[in-house]
Amino acid sequence: MASVSATTLSFEPCFKLSRRTSQAFCRTSSLGAVSVGWIRESFPSLRSSRFRIYAAPETVQKVCEIVRKQLALPPDSELTPETKFSALGADSLDTVEIVMTLEEEFGIGVEEESSENITTVQEAADLIDKLIQKKGGAD
């Protein structure tokens, strides 16, 4: 909150009164008895990670096979859902090629914004299952 007089400008921090209701109040200096407040009642934040649905194991396995092939990794190389493409030596072009191969293999279309968020095998598999489910619901 800011208060202005002829010669000064002062700021006074707001403080939170309640964690559950997000009530906050601000007051100005003694130059004027002005206070501003608001109350925002809302539900607690739900984090999507708490309710995350993981992809089918078959999808994860297929993604691993495609990543091995695209990056010319040995067939016995160990890939887990948490494996990052960058840890395998993939650059951005490799990642684009992986996404294009996944699109062809699964018959889906991945939007550019979504493809930029794919950094691990699990993220790719989750997105694939989500798009397949969405595609199935559209039919």
Per-residue pLDDT of the chain (139 residues; tens, 9 = 90+): 444 444 444 444 444 444 444 444 444 444 444 444 444 445 454 444 444 556 789 999 999 999 999 999 998 999 999 999 999 999 999 999 999 999 999 999 999 888 888 999 999 999 999 999 988 876 6
Q: Give the residue numbers marked as catalytic.
A: 91
SS3 27: strand
Could you tell me the CA-to-CA distances from 82 to 9, 68, 134 in Å, in that order? 52, 15, 24
Q: How far apart are CA 106 and CA 59, in angstroms?
A: 9
Q: How far apart are CA 112 and CA 95, in angstroms?
A: 12
Is residue 96 classed exposed, middle or buried when 0-12, 13-18 and 19+ CB atoms within 10 A define those classes? middle
User: How high is the pLDDT of residue 52?
Assistant: 55
Q: How far apart are CA 133 and CA 111, in angstroms?
A: 16
Question: pTM for this structure?
Answer: 0.60
Reported in sequence order, the residue ranges of the chain that DSSP labels E, i.e. its strands, are: 2-4, 9-11, 15-18, 23-27, 35-38
User: How high is the pLDDT of residue 123?
Assistant: 95
